[in-house]
């Protein structure tokens, strides 16, 4: 991979709608050769079941085995950590991920990150990403946004956090839900500089390299 491509990406699933975005992101990161550190909230387990008929076990080791098999990850390429696993590498600025994505991101998680609460490993890992100057992308799935939501987003954006709502475009004439998911995941991958071929880029003709 190019030196510009992050070697390790932390991905967090929280309880907002949009689990297909998060799972597809993990799949693409693994396919690109990145190491993935995965975190998930308790409510994310409910959302995965409701939206995708996917059971995410409560034990991180079981989720790790399940998703590694599902996506064909190499040994050690995917690691899954518990919400209170404070000795996980991404809990410390001495060993942060190169980039972090919270996808999907609840308004509660976004507010906690904006306030620097660090009450669980997801919030702490995001706090570490901000303080260490690493790329942090939040994919907030809510509508409409209240003034509180917008103020929290503005506060984070001023700190350099990327606020990337999952708003698929239609200029590529998507034919399936999967293509609409890929549009959003492509935008996330672009932000953390991971190469992909999920969609034709604006101004390119079919067949050109993405």
Contact 50, 56 (CB under 8 A): no
Nearest alpha-carbon partner for 13 in 5, 21, 22:
22
> Is 16 part of any known ligand binding site?
yes
Q: What are the structure tokens assigned to 97, written together?
A: 């991920």
> Is 171 part of any known ligand binding site?
yes
> Is 109 part of any known ligand binding site?
yes
> Is 17 part of any known ligand binding site?
yes
> Is 107 part of any known ligand binding site?
yes
> Is 187 part of any known ligand binding site?
yes
> Which residue shows structure tokens 């699933």?
13
Q: How far apart are CA 47 and CA 104, in angstroms?
A: 10
Query: In sequence order, what are the residues at sequence separation of 6 or more whose Cβ sits closer than 8 angstroms to the Cβ of residue 153?
Result: 110, 138, 140, 145, 163
Q: What are the helix (H) ranges across the chain?
A: 19-31, 42-52, 60-71, 107-115, 121-131, 147-158, 177-191
> Is 106 part of any known ligand binding site?
yes
Annotated binding site for FMN: 15-17, 41, 106-109, 141
Annotated binding site: 15-17, 41, 106-109, 141, 171, 187
Annotated binding site for dimethylallyl phosphate: 171, 187
């Amino acid at each position: 991979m190019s030196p510009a491509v992050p070697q390790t990406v932390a991905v967090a699933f929280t309880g907002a709608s949009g689990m297909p975005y998060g799972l597809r992101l993990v799949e693409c990161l693994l396919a690109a050769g990145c190491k993935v550190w995965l975190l998930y909230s308790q409510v994310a387990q409910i959302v995965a079941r409701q939206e995708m008929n996917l059971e995410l076990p409560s034990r991180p080791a079981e989720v790790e085995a399940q998703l590694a098999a599902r996506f064909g990850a190499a040994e050690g390429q995917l690691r899954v950590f518990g919400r209170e696993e404070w000795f996980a590498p991404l809990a410390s600025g001495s060993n942060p991920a190169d980039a972090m994505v919270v996808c999907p991101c609840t308004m509660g998680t976004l507010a906690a990150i904006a306030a620097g609460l660090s009450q669980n490993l997801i919030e702490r890992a995001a706090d570490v990403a901000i303080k260490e100057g690493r790329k942090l992308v939040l994919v907030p799935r809510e509508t409409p946004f209240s003034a509180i939501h917008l103020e929290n987003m503005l506060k984070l954006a001023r700190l350099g956090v990327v606020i990337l709502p999952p708003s698929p475009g239609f200029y590529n004439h998507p034919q399936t839900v999967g293509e609409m998911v890929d549009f959003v995941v492509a935008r996330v991958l672009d932000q953390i500089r991971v190469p992909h071929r999920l969609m034709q880029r604006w101004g390119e003709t079919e067949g050109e390299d993405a």
